[in-house]
Chains A and B, each alone.
Chain A
Amino acid sequence: MKTILYIIQKEFKQIFRNKGMLPIIFVLPLLQLVILSNAATFEVQHIKFGYIDNDHTSTSRALIERFNASTYFDVLTNFPSEAIASSEMLKGDVDVVLEIPHYFERDLQKEKHNSLGVTINAIDGAAAGVENVYLTQIIQNFNKQLKVDLTQLSDQQVQPTQIETIPLFWYNETLNYKTFMVPGILVLLVTMITLFLSGMNIVREKEVGTLEQINVTPIKKSQFIIGKLFPFWVIGMGLLTVGLILARLIFNVPMIGSLFLMYFYTSIYILVILGIGLFISNFTETQQQSMFIAWFFTVIFILMSGLFTPIESMPKWAQIVTEFNPIKYFVEVMRMVMLKGSGFTDILPQLLKTLLYALIMNGLAVWSYKKTT
């Protein structure tokens, strides 16, 4: 036991002695949490909207006014011609162009039916779909208004059937994206810091040559590994704590569930990550290699975690692959417990899988670590 304490002491001293690293471990992640959580939003707002009004009548102006009034669209300009509009779109200065044809009002009154040309920049397919929905909504509302303005009473004989929908957004009525992203990004930062630090640690001793010195001491394998990993476990838990405080104070993220459950889960989760880090550092020769491998898996884990994009939209085989992704479980648990107040039984499947993962990874890591070279 005493031996372990000495190793832990040595590790902490090494961490705190490296003045260049301290801000990277403690300040950078929290700064990123505070700043970048604001950036992660799929909400489509301030759509750059332009129009070509070939009609110049009160109807066409009233329609444009609708777009002006909408909070989604930033109405830019009236383009004199289609050529200018499409060149502006090539430059990226406008994303949606509405073209009102000649004699729009006259034809509408005559035929009671007319169409508008809309061009949408669809490079971001998802955003383009949403933009199209907003635009259609505005035009539909405009149609209703037209009916009231232009229809004679005799037209309204049969009452149309109507199915009314009431959307209810539970747990997040204002659809605030930050409450969704902050727990996710916090998960990511805790993971990245603990994985990178543990992945580099032993391999660094190998590269510099001090590992040999430790190997010839009477320290046991398990003592060495526990002593090596414990400091990073503490750092991970510390980051989680500060991150949670920031989430509460700055972003006002609700914390409905039990804090104890969050900490309990995280304490097991960090073991998984440390196991992976140790495993990587056993199989690599240089810090560069170990970082490359850690980075490779981190990027794939992040992208497949459901943090930024929904897992259920992935094809079946990819969903099966995500079962092996520890970050996925952590993201799920954090969001469930913090935002919905899920209890122990709700997160039991994730908890058990994480526990199993931790046992396997640490078992492999201890097994593959050899005191002799």
Chain B
Amino acid sequence: MNRFIGFVKKEFYHIFRDKRSLFILFGMPIAQILLFGFAITNEINNVDVAILDHSKDATTEEIINKIAASKYFNINQIIEKESDIETVFKKGKVKAVLNFEKDFSKNLIKDHKATIQIITDATDPNTANTISNFVNAILQKYQKQLNEKITITYQIVPESRMVYNPELKSVYMFVPGVMTIILMLVSAMMTSISITREKELGTMEILLVSPLKPIQVIVGKVFPYIFLSIINAIIIVVLSVFIFKMPVQGSLFLLAMVSILFIISALALGILISTISATQQTAMMISLMGLMLPVILLSGFIFPISSMPIPLQIISNIIPAKWFIIIIKGIMLKGVGIQFIWKETLILLGMTLFFMALSVKKYKIRLE
């Protein structure tokens, strides 16, 4: 036991001696949480639009003012002819052009009908569609004003209640994701590197001939990282609660337990990676290239899993991060107890055991 403690101490020395890595290790979660909280949002606002007004009368001016007053739009320029649309789109700044037909007011009075084209740069389909919907909503409201005198018969109004996130803050969606990404990548990358590093520098041989059992070597290697990852998790939760007012509705104890389970599963994955790679370079590339994008894209962090094609939805099941995100959203935002998330927790536990078993099987105590 004494030997083991000595070994763990050595590992801690290794980590604390490397100030630069340590800085990244703790700077990363802070930088990401702040970025997501303050800068990054998947809402759409301040979109630059251009106006092509063929009639220039009182009604179109009123509509243009309404568009300009909305927080979603920002009138970038007024263009004069159809061919300019292509030019502004190619420059890339303007995302939509509103094209008012000729004699807009006159048509509205005479035929009770006038037309506006909403031309959007649909290279970004999501933005284009949203712009189109927002402009429509503004026009509908204006139209209602025009038609105030006419009573509308039979009206059903939905009264929507947004639960768990009434202000529709996107940070609620991102915090669980950032936490998952950081824990996953940091844990998997650090363990895989620190083990292959010993292999590459030749010190693994020394460890293997030492009286320490292989299992002790591995546990000793992983132990400091469990500790560091827990600190990271605490930093993230504290930042999100105090700066972004993210609620923790459920039990903190449960949150801590599940986070530790997830950290262990990521570390086990890191050990697995280290058993199959010979150099630090390989280990790093596998854990960075192989894990970063799948974890960002397939875990439901930014993109909803239910919108993906069926084969990808099936693949997403083998990403531990997906289950962890479901669990922390459940605990933090919905306030559920273990009875609602036992299934996800069991899956995560199963994955952890699987990674461990596989790496024990692959672990070689002899060098080639």
Chain A interfacial positions (CB closer than 8 Å to B) = 18, 20-21, 24-25, 28-29, 32, 35-36, 38-48, 63, 89-92, 98, 108, 112-130, 132-133, 135-136, 139, 142-143, 146-147, 150-151, 155, 158-173, 175-177, 179-180, 185, 188, 192-193, 196, 200, 204, 207-208, 284-289, 291-293, 295-296, 298-300, 302-304, 308-310, 312-315, 318, 321, 332, 335-336, 339-343, 346
Once A123-B173, A292-B25 are accepted as A-B contacts, the answer to whether A36 and B294 lie under 8 Å apart by CB is yes
Q: How far is the CB of B150 from chain A (nearest CB, A)?
A: 5
**In the docked arrangement, what's the CA distance between A130 and B169, Å?**
14
Residue interface mask B161-192, A partner, CB < 8 A = 1: 11111111110110000000100010001000
- A159 and B289 within 8 A (CB): no
Chain B interfacial positions (CB closer than 8 Å to A) = 18, 20-21, 24-25, 27-28, 31-32, 35-36, 38-48, 85, 89-92, 95, 108, 112-130, 132-133, 135-136, 139, 142-143, 146-147, 149-150, 152-170, 172-173, 181, 185, 189, 193-194, 197, 200-201, 277-282, 284-286, 288-290, 292-294, 296-298, 302-304, 306-309, 312, 315-316, 326, 329-330, 333-334, 336, 340
Chain A-chain B contacts (Cβ-Cβ < 8 Å), number: 366
Nearest CB in chain B to that of A109: its residue: B154
- A166 and B115 within 8 A (CB): yes
Chain B residues, Cβ within 8 Å of A89? 163
- B297 and A172 within 8 A (CB): no
The 6 listed contacts between A and B (C-beta, < 8 Å) are A36-B294, A130-B130, A291-B193, A296-B31, A318-B35, A340-B89
- A289 and B115 within 8 A (CB): no
Chain B residues, Cβ within 8 Å of A296? 24, 27-28, 31
**In the docked arrangement, what's the CA distance between A158 and B148, Å?**
11
- B35 and A45 within 8 A (CB): no
- B330 and A166 within 8 A (CB): no
- B123 and A24 within 8 A (CB): no
Chain A residues, Cβ within 8 Å of B127? 310
- A121 and B28 within 8 A (CB): no
Cβ-defined partner of A112 (8 Å) among B92, B153, B173, B308: B153
- A309 and B42 within 8 A (CB): yes
- A147 and B115 within 8 A (CB): no
- B90 and A303 within 8 A (CB): no
Q: How far is the CB of A12 from chain B (nearest CB, A)?
A: 16
Chain B residues, Cβ within 8 Å of A129? 43, 168
Cβ-defined partner of B139 (8 Å) among A165, A171, A287, A303: A165
- B116 and A166 within 8 A (CB): yes
Q: How far is the CB of A192 from chain B (nearest CB, A)?
A: 6
- B157 and A163 within 8 A (CB): no
Chain B residues, Cβ within 8 Å of A124? 173, 304
**In the docked arrangement, what's the CA distance between A127 and B300, Å?**
12
Q: How far is the CB of A284 from chain B (nearest CB, A)?
A: 7
- B158 and A135 within 8 A (CB): yes
**In the docked arrangement, what's the CA distance between A180 and B125, Å?**
7
Q: How far is the CB of A203 from chain B (nearest CB, A)?
A: 10
Chain A residues, Cβ within 8 Å of B308? 38-39, 41
- B125 and A127 within 8 A (CB): no
Nearest CB in chain A to that of B39: its residue: A318
Once A169-B120, A296-B27 are accepted as A-B contacts, the answer to whether A309 and B40 lie under 8 Å apart by CB is yes
Nearest CB in chain A to that of B140: its residue: A163
Cβ-defined partner of A115 (8 Å) among B40, B147, B157, B189: B157
Chain B residues, Cβ within 8 Å of A341? 90
Q: How far is the CB of A201 from chain B (nearest CB, A)?
A: 9
Once A299-B32, A310-B44, A332-B92 are accepted as A-B contacts, the answer to whether A158 and B150 lie under 8 Å apart by CB is yes
**In the docked arrangement, what's the CA distance between A303 and B122, Å?**
21
Residue among B95, B149, B193, B297 having the largest count of chain A Cβ atoms under 10 Å: B297
**In the docked arrangement, what's the CA distance between A20 and B275, Å?**
13
Nearest CB in chain B to that of A168: its residue: B119
Chain A residues, Cβ within 8 Å of B125? 43, 169, 172, 175-177, 180
Cβ-defined partner of A170 (8 Å) among B119, B162, B290: B119
Chain B residues, Cβ within 8 Å of A332? 92
- B162 and A120 within 8 A (CB): yes
**In the docked arrangement, what's the CA distance between A136 and B92, Å?**
32
- A168 and B118 within 8 A (CB): yes
**In the docked arrangement, what's the CA distance between A172 and B122, Å?**
5
Chain A residues, Cβ within 8 Å of B40? 303-304, 309, 314, 318
Once A36-B294, A287-B281, A310-B44 are accepted as A-B contacts, the answer to whether A112 and B155 lie under 8 Å apart by CB is yes
Chain B residues, Cβ within 8 Å of A115? 156-159
Cβ-defined partner of A303 (8 Å) among B35, B123, B286, B309: B35
- A163 and B116 within 8 A (CB): yes
Given contacts A36-B297, A115-B157, 12 further A-B contacts (CB under 8 A): A21-B282, A121-B164, A122-B163, A124-B173, A132-B160, A161-B112, A169-B128, A170-B120, A173-B122, A208-B200, A303-B36, A309-B302
- B24 and A293 within 8 A (CB): yes
Once A119-B163, A123-B333 are accepted as A-B contacts, the answer to whether A313 and B41 lie under 8 Å apart by CB is yes
- B46 and A312 within 8 A (CB): yes
**In the docked arrangement, what's the CA distance between A343 and B114, Å?**
36
Once A108-B156, A162-B113 are accepted as A-B contacts, the answer to whether A117 and B123 lie under 8 Å apart by CB is no
Once A166-B118, A167-B120, A292-B20 are accepted as A-B contacts, the answer to whether A128 and B165 lie under 8 Å apart by CB is yes
**In the docked arrangement, what's the CA distance between A303 and B42, Å?**
11
